[in-house]
Amino acid sequence: MNIPNLLSVESLKLISSVNGKTLVDNVSYNLCAGEVLAMVGESGSGKTLAARAILGLLPPGIAPSEGRILMNGEDLLQVNSARMRAMRGAQIGMVFQEPMMSLNPAVRIGIQMAEGLRLHTQLTAAQIEARCLEILERVRIRDPKRCLMAYPHEFSGGMRQRIMLASVMLLKPRLLIADEPTTALDTLSQGEVLDLMTELAREEGTAVLLITHNLGLVARYAQRAVVMNKGVLVETGDVKQVLYSPVNSYTRKLIEALPRRGPVLTDSGVKTPLIEARNLSVSYRDNKPGWWRKGRVRKVLDSVNLTVHEGETVAVVGGSGSGKTTLGRAMLRLIASSGGGVFFRGHSIDGNNAKQFRLACQLVFQDPYSSLNPRQRIGDIVAEPLKLVRNISKQEASQRVIQTLQDVGLDGLALRFPHELSGGQRQRVAIARAIVRRPAFIVADEPVSALDMSVQAQVLALFQSLQKAYGFACLFISHDLAAVEQVSDRVVVMESGRIVEQGSRDTVFDQPQHAYTRALLAATPAL
Amino acid sequence: MKAFFKHKNGLIGGAMIGFIFVVALAAFFWTPYNPLAINLHIRLQPPSATHWLGTDEFGRDVLSRVMAGAAASGTVALLSVISAVGLGLFMGVVAGFFRNWVDRVLMAINDTLLAFPGILFALGVMMIVGANKWGIIIALGLAYTPTVVRVVRGTVLSIREKEYVEASRMIGNSELVTMLRHVLPNCAAPVAVLTTSMVGWVLLSESALSFLGLGVPPPAPTWGNMLASSRQYMQSAVWLSLAPGLCIALTLLGINLLGDAVRDKLDPRMVVA
Amino acid sequence: MIFNRSIAFALSVGLVALFVQVSLAYAQDGSALRVRLSSDIRSTDPGTNRDDNTDAVVLHMVEGLVALREDTSVGPMLASKIVASSDGLRYTFTLRDGVKFHNGAPLTAADVVWSWKRYLDPATGWRCLPEFDGRGMTKVLAVEATNPKTVVFKLERPTSLFLTTMARTDCGGAGILHSSSLDSDGRWKQPVGTGPYKFGQWKKGQYIDLVRFENYASLNGPRDGYTGGKKAEVEKVHFMVIPDEIAGKTALYAGAIDVFPEVRSADIAEIQKKPQVKIEVAPAMDMYAFLIQTRDPVLKDVRIRRALALSLDLPAITEAVTEGVCQPNSSAIPSSSMYYSTVQRLGYRRDIAQAKRLLADAGYNGEPIKMITNKRHSESFDSAVLAQAMAAEAGIRIDLEVLDWATQLDRYTKGKYQTMAFIYSARLDPSLSYEMISGPKSTQPRKVWDDSLVQEKLAESTRSSDRAKRQVLFDELHRKMLEDVPFIVLFNSVDAVGLRANVVGYKSWAPAKPRLWNVHL
Amino acid sequence: MLSYIARRVALTVPTLLLVMVAVFALIHLIPGDPAQLMLGDAADDATLSQLRQHLGLDRPLTVQFARWLLNVVHGDFGHSITNGLPVLPLLLERIQVSGTIILAAVTLATLIAVPAGLIAAWKQNQTVDVAIVAGATLLLSIPSFWLGLLLMLQFGLKLGWLPVVGYVPLSENFSEGLLYLLLPIATLVMIESGILTRMSRASAIDVLRLEYVTHARAKGVSESQVLRRHVFPNAFGPTLTMIGVILGNLLGGIAVLETVFTLPGIGRLLVDAIYARDYPVVQGVMLLTALTYVFINLIIDLCYPIFDPRVTT
């Protein structure tokens, strides 16, 4: 390569002063102007620390012990704090993962955006405002003027990430560090934000260090990639080489973990409908304080018709706010419907079969951290559903719990508490709790989206094998089309509370009819 | 560095409270002198080798009284906190979990109690139930209940949105089971933190009540009534107020340090209002 | 550090400037006496809405026909001559010449008649009305002005206590008022009396100012209680309401007040040690006692009551709680009374062995006895604490119950207690002292001594004016009381007043009311 | 906004009514009555009943309560039994004293505590932090009357800088009036700033962990700006709640300090009135404190959006 390096990190080592542990060891990589370098790794790989070290923004108690970080030949580990502050923002910008947390909720957007310009340029207030408006328009914010006066909470996550991007790119930094910039966004916003980012970077000649765990994004946006595992850099190279002919075993494992389209249930149509939503509608009332006043009504689910057959997996996909989660809850009658009804094995659910219905249905949640009672032991969590099954002896029940824990690969952990387990293990507990009663129907609400890539693959595989073994039907709610492609028999696409398209998986993926479906598919990065 | 300080603070706090606890326990069995024994020949004597902390206006040994006071103050503080926490936990959990008319009625009662200035409410209650140990426990317990209710209800409101509560419903558990098995145990952390700070508040309130004229009746010494009655001798016998005053201050210091450590351990983000 | 250094600076400059001003704000020119009041007065209307402090302040402004002398006997005040008819039913008062009201009007018999009419009208709410309308002591049938200088009182039945009651401080000394004390609607405005000070300003809850009455006509002769030789030497008396004892004490030390009445005996020693202050002490007539409910299932047994009395070292208690200022007194008659003789000196002597024997005889088995006390009167409270410890040595178990004063009064009035540490306010005559403790419990539950024989002797002492005869009666009563033990008298209080060293002429006295005439700085 | 306030005010009516019923019940449950107090040890039945009738205490309690409530609705709070003064002007005069002290002290305490808390959080676990936390904890561990007395002895008696008793309204003579308030305010500031410092430190630590703080630093914002602009506004919410709690507690708790420093405030008025069984005053003060409490909460709620725009009214 003949272009000089903008940034070169040389054998960086970070250690914790609390326990003396080495968190990042011997990491070296280069980055040229205008280039997008992806830094890939799972949680705990040290990728975020390695990137934050560039800006000197390490959490308290963590400090670099060896190595150099050269930016245009200047060692950032040696500069004083004033010089570092001058570099931050002006030379090196950073976009954070969580758009809900990275903008100050108490300060107007205009002021937050202007802050960097005021610090690093001599522009007048009017010039600053003009620049802000310009770039907001550039990132396609409607009504930029109003946006300057608004507070962050008035915007959706995708919008906030664009504002964030705008405020960082406003200073035309030489280097942009993007730390999982779209992980918290749904598929559609993810594509939009990253498209904008690479576009702006290209225009300004800014180098981008894109930190991500999503290999699809790497393939689509980066030119070169480095892979990190447990604080060590395991592979460096061109994206094509890294993704399609990986050398390192860990990289290979990551790539293998990517979801693949699986076989479809063959003999569909013969079975009777297990559960059926007919014209199901749900509306919410805005709750305001008061003894007498009632809030406004908002419709989140609008006359939805959906049938799930025995043993079948139906995927519900859509962006955030499309009503897919509400649909799942409403079909389980966890949320009262405002219109239509749910039919279980052909019968409307009423007082007589409500109990039976409840025993036959289960739910797996997205967040494995809040779905388990932190004060219960794993064994108790899994055993609890059996307490409500009448004709099952104590011995049988404990037998069943042991069996189920074995099924999900958690044998021997019955006496642990949830916080002692990893995210993947917790999700296995949640699955065990769902299947222990051998239900006929499970709603899985984004069951893997909070997990690391390799863990996602394991959990999905587990789910599929369990479904094969116990034959339950599943409503699989997800915004991740890749995962949907792997597990589903049929796909339902939702937008603003309505079903816009449904059909067999292959039909929906290969010949999408609705524009929204097509947009979703287009935004899904794949290798 | 960080962990070191945290660790150390909690340890120091724990050691202080532990020491006071041991002294209080010991005082049930042994004190240097009988804390109630009056000796009119040695009134208001400054600290000496025979009476390490001096004697009070009736010639009673201050050290013995401070020790016995630890037991009495501790009992009052613990029992009032326990009653406040018990009642508050019940009201708070019920109100927070059901969120219907029960909530409204309970919160109306709670708002009513909150609108009373706590210490004066306790004063009024003591006048009715009588100025004795049980009176003060009832009065302070009632006075601090609304605070517990508020914290508990707030916690319950956030817990009931947690997915494991929904999971419990999904399993088919009744609301009562869900509340007892999944909501109540998870209130433990904030309640534990609140409890530690409340022990301190109650100690201070007990001394303020004594100051206002109604505390634990004599001759039983509490730090509060010792401090309140020593005010008289602030000019002539300063050791009388220093001993119980420092005991209260040090205990609160210990409780706060310990409380911080408990909070850090249970939930670093929690802030008790 | 980063937060507005300038504000901090401005604040500190301001504070320093304020400190400099302090000395100016404090300048004390000697024209005003600053006196502590332990609570705000309730009104300025004599003998109606009142308490001790109210009486003390009001009696600087109003004077009655008679008043207390230094020795608590009764002497003429506005009257120059008092003649009682031989049957004791007719009292003729001749008014002193030259006496003027605060508004300049001369004192006439008509004013006396007007004032008394007002007192005898139930609508006024005069506290002593029951003594004069026939319910109590006697009934005033008529108050007539026979000429501008003479007033005649006609009574229904004779009583030795007529003039004494008139002079009572809680009756407002039956102060003679000018009719302009009321507004045109007959509502109370402010006292227009004949006292050496006139009403200045009353800032409720904070202070009351009295101003020197320049045309005051004093009763000639030496200074004598509330009667003669009164001269207002300072222009202004500034009563400051300072409820907290310690705050008051500190104020005295700091020179923020000049006179601090009602010093607790426990503080006397401390005050004496300070160079900038001094203390005036005189025996007073309030009576500290332990009341015993003779109807209580345990305490109805006289042996147990006696055992309690014998278990207490009364001189030691007195010594300890009053710092040796007060003398023990086991009699209902104040030690400063002229009826206090050798018999009254008889009391209980501590005898634990005897007490134990009595208890054993009575079958007392350590049943707890509740003793009510309160923190308003520290001497009383301290006595209870000591009594508890002393009784314990004889095996009597006393549990203290600390109540607020109002609750204790309620229990006292209803007789709902086992024992209580109590304070009786001053009674100016031995008959009144015995009246205060004895009576039928069925109709007057507050009375501690219910014995018909005692009642008879008491009635006899009220009717008689013969001193020797009365002394015999009182001696008998005292002996009987020591036997029955309906209550245990501890001591009579002292009137201890803390003064700045530069206060000249202040005298404490038995009624324990501050008098701020003949006092200057 | 206005309708929100109106709704909040309407919501408080049942609470206030309940408070008044509770106060009335409570104060009449306490044994003893003003007539007995007035007559003392010589209270014979005839005089007692005459006085009770005079004071209107002989009527059934329900009637007394209904009359009182009716009068209050018409703006008449009745007259003090102790000194016959109309209650309402008395309350208004007294609450000015307490209000001045409380507001001044809490404002000053906030001005001291919030920066101290921020600095402590910023220097978390360093010497400065340890010193601030230790100081704050010590301050809030001291009984107020004890601290007040210590200050009074030191500055009033020993040094003679400040008056030990008395009160001059600020409206009459500002600088002199301030002298009388300095010690009580200082006592209160010391104690309350202890609580507020800890509070503000705790919430600042929470905020310092958040990404927008890192984001601000990543923009090159200086540390003092980070604290002032990004940490302070977001950390102030819980402190604001605490200030509300403190203000509410002080309405009664100030009684202790007012007694120590002999100030004619509302707290002492209430304590005195309770001891004197001055029912109209007790009821009046309680109605006023309950109203103030409700009002403080309303103000605090209305202040929230300033520091946290996510909260809407």
Write out chain B residues lying below 8 Å of A358, CB-based. 170-172
In the CATH scheme, what is the code of domain B2-27+62-266?
1.10.3720.10
Q: What is the mean pLDDT of residues A251-264?
A: 79
Asked if residue D70 has pLDDT above 80, the reply is: yes
Write out chain B residues lying below 8 Å of A388, CB-based. 171-173
Residue D186 belongs to what domain range?
A: 87-312
pLDDT of residue B272: 38
Rounded distance between C-alpha atoms, residue A341 and residue A349, angstroms: 8
Mutate to test the interface with D, among B8, B73, B112, B269 (most CBs of D within 10 A): B112
Residues A479-524 have pLDDT tens digits of 888 888 888 888 999 988 889 998 888 888 888 888 888 888 888 7
Give D74 to chain C, closest Cα distance, Å: 24
Chain B residues 234-273 with a CB less than 8 Å from chain D: 234-235, 241, 245, 248-253, 256-257, 269, 271, 273
Asked if residue A477 has pLDDT above 80, the reply is: yes
D175 close contact with C: CB closer than 8 A: yes
Write out chain D residues lying below 8 Å of A291, CB-based. 11
A181 close contact with D: CB closer than 8 A: no
Asked if residue C277 has pLDDT above 80, the reply is: yes
pLDDT along chain B (273 residues), means of 10: 56 88 88 84 85 86 90 90 92 82 84 81 84 86 89 85 84 84 83 83 87 77 86 82 87 83 61 36
Residues D206 and D165 in one domain: yes
Minimal-distance CA residue of chain A relative to D230: A104
Of residues D312 and B175, more confidently modeled: B175
Minimal-distance CA residue of chain B relative to C386: B38
Q: What is the mean pLDDT of residues C5-34?
A: 55
Asked if residue C26 has pLDDT above 60, the reply is: no
Query: Measuring CA to CA, which residue among C458, C377, C372, C440 is closest to residue C411?
Result: C372
D212 close contact with A: CB closer than 8 A: yes
Write out chain D residues lying below 8 Å of C244, CB-based. 259-260, 262
Q: Do residues A205 and A195 touch, judged by C-beta distance below 8 A?
A: no
Write out chain D residues lying below 8 Å of A102, CB-based. 211-212, 214-215
User: Is C2 close to D269, i.e. CB distance below 8 A?
Assistant: no
Give C360 to chain D, closest Cα distance, Å: 35
Asked if chain B contacts chain C via 3 or more Cβ pairs within 8 Å, the reply is: yes
Which chains sit next to B, with 3 or more Cβ pairs under 8 A?
A: A, C, D
Judge if the upstream peptide bond of residue D238 is cis by omega within 30 degrees of 0: no
Would you place residue C29 in the very low, low, confident or very high pLDDT band (cuts 50, 70, 90)? low
CATH number at residue D274: 1.10.3720.10
Q: Which two tokens stand for residue C42?
A: 């309730």
Nearest-by-Cβ selection for B163 from A291, A367, A437:
A367
Using CA atoms, how far residue B136 sits from B80, B98, B227, D254, in Å, is 8, 32, 17, 20
Residues D213 and D96 in one domain: yes
Asked if chain C contacts chain A via 3 or more Cβ pairs within 8 Å, the reply is: no
Asked if residue D302 has pLDDT above 70, the reply is: yes
Total residue count of chain D as it appears in this document:
313
Q: Which of residues D41, D73, D105 is at a domain's end?
A: D73
Q: Is residue D38 part of a domain?
A: yes
User: Is A17 close to B104, i.e. CB distance below 8 A?
Assistant: no
Pairs of CB atoms within 8 A across A/D:
86
Nearest-by-Cβ selection for C389 from B215, B219, B233:
B219
Which chains sit next to D, with 3 or more Cβ pairs under 8 A?
A: A, B, C
Write out chain D residues lying below 8 Å of C243, CB-based. 259, 262, 268, 272
Write out chain D residues lying below 8 Å of C407, CB-based. 30-32
User: Is B211 close to D245, i.e. CB distance below 8 A?
Assistant: no
Minimal-distance CA residue of chain B relative to A430: B167
Nearest-by-Cβ selection for A101 from D8, D211, D309:
D211
Calculate the average pLDDT of chain D: 85
Nearest-by-Cβ selection for D138 from B117, B249, B269:
B249
Q: Which of A99-103, A307-311, A403-407 has the lowest mean pLDDT?
A: A99-103
Residues D106 and D188 in one domain: yes
Asked if residue C265 has pLDDT above 60, the reply is: yes
User: Is D83 close to C246, i.e. CB distance below 8 A?
Assistant: no
Residues B146-169 have pLDDT tens digits of 888 988 888 888 888 888 888 888
User: Is C246 close to D149, i.e. CB distance below 8 A?
Assistant: yes
Mutate to test the interface with B, among D122, D146, D286 (most CBs of B within 10 A): D146
pLDDT of residue A39: 92
User: Is B128 close to D294, i.e. CB distance below 8 A?
Assistant: no
Residues D197 and D238 in one domain: yes
| Secondary structure string (H, E, C) spanning A53-65 | HHHCCCCCCEEEE
Q: Is residue D253 part of a domain?
A: yes
Write out chain B residues lying below 8 Å of A17, CB-based. 1
D85 close contact with C: CB closer than 8 A: yes
Q: Is residue D204 part of a domain?
A: yes
User: Is B131 close to C376, i.e. CB distance below 8 A?
Assistant: no
Pairs of CB atoms within 8 A across B/C:
63
**Cα torsion at A237, A239, A240, A242 (round to 10°)?**
50
Looking at C50-121, list the stretches that DSSP marks H as alpha helix, in order from N- to C-terminal side.
Answer: 52-58, 109-120
User: Is D261 close to C247, i.e. CB distance below 8 A?
Assistant: yes
pLDDT of residue B273: 32
DSSP3 helix / strand / coil % (chain B, rounded to 5): 75, 0, 25
Burial label, A350 (beta-carbon count in 10 A; 0-12, 13-18, 19+)? exposed
Calculate the average pLDDT of chain C: 88
DSSP string for residues in B152-176:
HHHHHHHHTTSHHHHHHHHHT--HH
Domain coordinates of chain B in residue numbers?
A: 2-27+62-266
Asked if chain B contacts chain A via 3 or more Cβ pairs within 8 Å, the reply is: yes
Mutate to test the interface with A, among B6, B171, B180 (most CBs of A within 10 A): B171
User: Is D218 close to A151, i.e. CB distance below 8 A?
Assistant: no
User: Is B163 close to A371, i.e. CB distance below 8 A?
Assistant: yes
Q: Which of C508-512, D193-197, D234-238 has the lowest mean pLDDT?
A: D234-238
Write out chain D residues lying below 8 Å of B269, CB-based. 206
Q: What is the mean pLDDT of residues A41-64?
A: 86
Q: What is the mean pLDDT of residues A24-47?
A: 88
pTM higher than 0.90: no
Q: Compute how many other C-beta atoms are within 10 angstroms of the C-beta atom of residue C184.
A: 6
Q: Is residue D224 part of a domain?
A: yes
Query: Measuring CA to CA, which residue among A456, A488, A486 is closest to residue A214?
Result: A456
Rounded distance between C-alpha atoms, residue B68 and residue B82, angstroms: 21
The proportion of chain D whose per-residue pLDDT surpasses 70, expressed as a percent, equals: 99
Residues D97 and D195 in one domain: yes
User: Is D253 close to B208, i.e. CB distance below 8 A?
Assistant: yes
Write out chain B residues lying below 8 Å of A392, CB-based. none
pLDDT of residue C293: 94
DSSP string for residues in A176-230:
EEEESTTTTS-HHHHHHHHHHHHHHHHHHT-EEEEEES-HHHHHHH-SEEEEEET
Minimal-distance CA residue of chain A relative to B187: A375
Asked if residue C11 has pLDDT above 70, the reply is: no
Q: Do residues B198 and B84 touch, judged by C-beta distance below 8 A?
A: yes
Rounded distance between C-alpha atoms, residue A313 and residue A471, angstroms: 10
pLDDT of residue B175: 83
- Edge-first strand order for the sheet with C207-212 is C197-203, C207-212, C236-241, C32-37, C259-260, C487-500, C277-292, C419-424, C369-373, C398-402
Rounded distance between C-alpha atoms, residue A275 and residue A261, angstroms: 25
Amino acid symbol at C483: E
Residues D120 and D267 in one domain: yes
Residues D162 and D294 in one domain: yes
Residues C161-193 have pLDDT tens digits of 899 899 999 899 999 999 999 998 888 999 999
pLDDT of residue C12: 53
Write out chain C residues lying below 8 Å of D94, CB-based. 205
User: Is A290 close to D210, i.e. CB distance below 8 A?
Assistant: no
User: Is A374 close to B186, i.e. CB distance below 8 A?
Assistant: yes
Nearest-by-Cβ selection for D251 from B117, B251, B256:
B117
Residues 6+ apart with CB under 8 A from B173: A384, A388, B181
Residues D171 and D303 in one domain: yes
Tally the domains of chain D. 2
